[in-house]
Structure 1
Amino acid sequence: MKEDFLHYIWQHQYFDKTALVTTNGEPLQVLRVGFYNTDAGPDFKEAILRLGEVEWSGSVEVHLKASDWHRHYHQHDPKYDQVVLHVVWQADQPVLRTDGSAVPVVELQGRVDLGMIHTYEQLRESKNEIPCAPFWPGVPEVTKALMLERALIERLEEKGHDVLQVYQAATHDWEQATYHALLRAFGFKINQQAFELLAKALPFQVVRKHQRNLLQLEALLLGQAGFLSDPEDEYAEQLHREYAFLSHKYSLQPLQRHQWNFLRMRPANFPTVRLAQLAAMLHQTNSLFSKILETDAVKKYEQLFQAPVSDYWQRHYMFGRPNKTSSKSMGKSSAHNLVVNVAVPILSAYAIQSSERTYLEKAVNLLEQVREASNKYTRLYEELGWQAKSAADNQAALGLYKRYCLPVNCMRCAVGNKIMKKNSASL
């Protein structure tokens, strides 16, 4: 047994409260269990209890053994002086606050349904990637749907907080934060790290000054990426001269060409082509952040992300290597990838920062418009009978798996909660 089980038992009050008393024999009545605390300090805050004839308001701390209080040094931590009840499975010793006063203790051993304990142990010891797989078919569809919706919102909020960290580091400049998110996503996993390094090596303030000049944008992006050190044709030489001037002006230090991956890639996905597409998009869109806030349809995002590249890159995949096929604009699936990994996180971040939930709803709506192929996470749930239909479903499945199933956090999951209740004889 782990503490998460006791947290769950206390939060939902799934124990026998008949003649409930503390270890000192004092009658105990729970008026409010308190709010689960995910930060440092006691496990539940703002609980209200009646001990004997006196009503107490404060925190509740939960441990498997009462002695864990001293093992965690709570007797020396003033944050735990506000604890009015110590909830334990086994009361093996008295506990004290920093001033030496005793903390009331209640023991739950013998008060919890054996069927619930057995189900918990089955989930905890499961060898399935989805711990509740044997129970999944018996869970109501509405419970699963609501939990997946919750997992989706939590995932979007998590992505939003990641963007907000960049926004704060960018001195609260949304355009700069969007630029970093865009470059990170342009790596499409294989070159993600290189694009992240490029975002740091080429400040957005420099890009912003030259956004109206496509030649200079290509020179900055391709030069900083390390692709202009040895010009292979006349156009590369032209970009090289432009980059030499700009890099001296802004004291830029380029990346190394070997940091980019070309292996096992289709030519249309080469980093040189991606950089040309990025230059075209930045040139076409003066304020990407504003566009993201305003745009509400995936079709419009496709137009935004599929800006036509310059004439040279219409006919080349790499410098000095002409290609017969033309048009190197970004494909539809890649544009949809940017919707999921740029537009949606930016909208989620802005929803948190502005406290305007409509932007989070807009992010969800965009994901529902994107038809995305199944992945290894969605397939885990599809094998149990659930069907993903959109990028929203894919993100929900990913969130559910990483936050709940992988760490076996069943006690915090609505599906796990339903299974626990169903397999308890007393509930």
Structure 2
Amino acid sequence: MKEELLHYVWQHQYFDKANLTTDQGEKLTVLRPGQHNTDAGPDFLNARLQIGEVEWNGAVEIHLRASDWQRHQHQTDPKYDQVVLHVVYAADQSVQRTNGSTIPSLTLAPRLTPALLTTYAALGGNLDTVSVPCAPFLPLVPSITRTMMLGRALLERVEQKADLIEIHNEHLGGDWEATAYHALAGAFGFKKNSEPLARLAKALPLTILRRHRHDLLQTEALLFGQAELLPTVSDLPPNDAYLADLCREYEFLRHKYELAALALPAHAWNFLRLRPANFPTVRIAQLAALLHARPALFDALLTAVSVGALEQFFRVSVSAYWQAHYRPGSPGKVAALGRSSIHLLIINVVVPLRVAYARHVGQPELVEQAVALLEQLPAERNHLTAPYEALHFEHRTAADSQGLLAMHHGYCQPRRCLQCAVGSRILRHNLPPR
């Protein structure tokens, strides 16, 4: 038993109200349960109750045991003087406000159905982190409930990503071009090197890069140099003229802009268990080519009307050197940025960037257009989406995949079944598992 279940039960009034009285014997009528408070203070605010002959407007506090009131020191906290009813699972003592007056209580244990408790226990019983807790109950849940929850989770995930974009934009003084640069840099790391590539964008401000992005050699020199992925002059491979040019360019630009203190340590980069096509050196070369070929990043990402147009935007050729090397001085044929990688950039950069900007300028129709891009992309399939697909959740497009990932990370893995429409439906109807 967790306190969250009592919050859920009180909020939705899912308990037996026949001959409802307080533990002190007074008739109780719930006129309004109040608004759930997730901040400091009582659990439900602005409740309206009739206790005996008196109508009360105030707060409701909820605990598993009445003695938790003392354990949490509410008897000394004036914020809790507004509590007019103490709702508990077990009443093991009476409680008082700071002035010593006793607060009426309601014990819920005898008013909860065994089916509700059994279902709740079943939802939280499977601790497998990749499982879907409500799997045994799903055949009895209407498909419309799943579809609605999937859509809600998708929007939550997109909004959360847009929140991060907005934070970056604020830190960058409202410069949307710089925001697009930082967002793309981090995304080009594709999980294993996302964090160091995000740091690289900070180590090489766009204000400097803008002055040299017309020259691909200088753009590469700045990026690879600040990443500390260029060899020293004494370690240069013989007959590698292009690498020598990169080193010379970086040495000049490093001194010109006093960049040395901002450079990343070489050990920040992850090469282990990566295919050469995913090496950070290859990704940095691809990012350099994009920055060189597409000088107006933000405008292009904002105005592209289709996935096809965005695929064309990201499809740029790296320099001849990086077509034939996967590390400085290490020859090898390297594939171009693949279609699946481009789709991930659309999902993780383009869509949240557009949503953040739409909120910034107050144009909600742009949010719908951004989310619609996800419906043009194929579904992502991995070990997290597989259990949902096996349970017949809709999974046709990237919009579905993002919704399923949001359900997993936001609801199923942390066992927030009571906040999920599917879990709420199961508990509301006390459906038995098949």
Superposition TM-score, scaled by structure 2 size: 0.89
Which range moved further: 196-205 or 131-140? 196-205
Identity %: 51
What root-mean-square deviation, in Å, do the aligned CA atoms of Structure 1 and Structure 2 show? 2.4
Shift of 1:32: 2.0
The verdict on how the C-alpha distance between 1:43 and 1:178 changes in structure 2, with shifts beyond 3 A counting, is farther
Matched, 1:166 2:168: yes
**Could you say if the C-alpha distance between residues 40 and 355 of structure 1 is closer, same or farther in structure 2, counting changes exceeding 3 Å?**
farther
Residue aligning to 1:29: 29
Shift in Å, 1:387: 4.2
CA distance in 2, matches of 1:31, 1:210: 68
Distance change (3 Å), C-alpha of 1:212 and 1:57 = farther
Q: Could you tell me which runs of 5 or more consecutive residues in structure 2 were left unpaired when the two chains were aligned.
A: none
The 5 Å alignment of 1:121-140 reads 121-126=121-126, 129-140=131-142
Deviates more, 1:404-413 or 1:230-239: 230-239
Q: Is the 8 A contact 1:223 1:229 kept in 2?
A: no
Q: Which amino acid aligns with 1:181?
A: A
Kindly tell me the number of residue pairs found equivalent between the two proteins: 423
CA 58–141 in structure 1, closer or farther in 2 if over 3 Å, else same: same
1:120-269 aligned within 5 A:
120-126=120-126, 129-230=131-232, 231-232=236-237, 233-253=240-260, 254-269=263-278
TM-score with structure 1 length normalisation?
A: 0.91
Q: CA separation in 2, counterparts of 1:264 and 1:161? A: 32
Moved more, 235-244 or 97-106: 97-106
Shift of 1:170: 2.8
Classify the secondary structure of the residue corresponding to 1:85: strand
The code of the aligned residue for 1:191 comes to N
Distance, in Å, in 2 between the alignment partners of 1:340 and 1:395 is 9
Matched, 1:382 2:402: no
- Whole-angstrom distance in 2 between the partners of 1:154 and 1:298: 22
Q: Which amino acid aligns with 1:55?
A: E
CA spacing shift, 1:302–1:399, aligned 2, 3 Å: same
* Equivalence for 1:20: 20
1:175–1:9 Cα change, 3 Å: same
User: What are the within-5 Å matches in structure 2 for residues 309-348 of structure 1?
Assistant: 309-321=318-330, 329-348=336-355
Q: Aligned AA for 1:335?
A: I
- Per-residue CA distance 1:126-168 (angstroms, 9 max, x = gap): 3562111111111111111111111111222222223333333
- Return 5+ residue gaps in structure 1 as ranges: none
1-structure distance, mates of 2:179, 2:108: 50
1:85–1:103 CA contact under 8 A, matched in 2: yes
**Given the alignment, which residue of 303, 312, 337 partners 1:303?**
312
Cα distance in structure 2, aligned partners of 1:346 and 1:69 = 46
Aligned to 2:60: 60
Aligned with 1:282: secondary structure?
A: helix
Segment of structure 1 superposing worse, 260-269 or 173-182: 260-269
Change (3 A) 1:125 1:313: closer
Matched, 1:415 2:422: yes
CA–CA separation in structure 1 for the residues paired with 2:357 and 2:386: 31
Q: Distance in 2 between matches of 1:157 and 1:175?
A: 20
Letter in 2 for 1:76: T
Alignment of 1:294 with 2:308, yes or no, is: no
Shift of 1:335: 0.7
C-alpha change, 1:13 and 1:246, in structure 2 (3 Å) is same
Whether the 8 Å CA contact 1:113–1:424 is kept in 2: the answer is no
